[in-house]
Amino acid sequence: MDIHDAILRSIVKHISISTEERDYFISLLVYKEIPKKTTVLVEAQVCNQLSYINSGALRSYCLDEKGKESTIMFAVADWWLTDMYCFLNEKPSMTFIETIEDSCVLNLSKANFDHLLTTIPKFERFFRILMQNAYTREQLRSIENLTLNAEERYARFISKYPQIANNVTQKQIASYLGITPEFLSLIRKKHRRPK
């Protein structure tokens, strides 16, 4: 199987591309294998890469003034990840991105992203759909954080993202849910108890 098969399958769900357009798109990507627990983006570093996760898992997080982590999102195979505001505006990153397992990514630089949209305008549709989906997902998450209790948020998280729940630490899940690891531990014990 070619390293570009998955990304191309993802694209053709939304737009049709010719062989020449496919080859041009592939020529803009940089394949990278990244070991587990590698920081790939640091806060204040200029964010100039958009990454497609071919395999593995990554997480994006930020730190408060006391150094406490808050996980913004997890990303697994067939997802895209970057600090989107900073990528689009070529600003220093507001987040950190790290691998949570050995990962293979396809990177698209900001310069190549801009060139792609100019050269093959139909890719604007593809990335618009991705951004709409991301915005919708984040809006739903914000509503859940405001309306659901911690136990309900945890149940929703493990049903929506079982592959992530099994591959990250309790501390990372707690920081995503906005609760302490100790409180999450109590919730998990309750979930494991037979009804």
Quick: pLDDT tens for 172-190. Answer: 999 999 899 899 989 988 8
CA angle (31, 36, 39) in 5-degree steps: 75
Q: Is the pLDDT of residue 192 over 80?
A: no
pLDDT at 118: 96
Q: 41 has which bridge partners?
A: 97
Q: Is the pLDDT of residue 22 over 90?
A: yes
Sorted by where each starts, the structural domains of the chain and their CATH numbers stand as 5-125 (2.60.120.10)
Q: Is the pLDDT of residue 24 over 80?
A: yes
pTM above 0.85, yes or no: yes
In this prediction, residues 155-160 reach a mean pLDDT of: 88
Cβ atoms of 102 and 58 closer than 8 Å? no
In this prediction, residues 138-161 reach a mean pLDDT of: 90
Give 28's pLDDT tier (boundaries 50, 70, 90): very high
Q: Which of 110, 96, 80, 101 is nearest to 34 (CA)?
A: 101
In this prediction, residues 53-63 reach a mean pLDDT of: 95
| 104 Cβ contact partners less than 8 Å away, ≥ 6 residues apart | 3, 31, 32, 33, 34, 53, 54, 55, 56
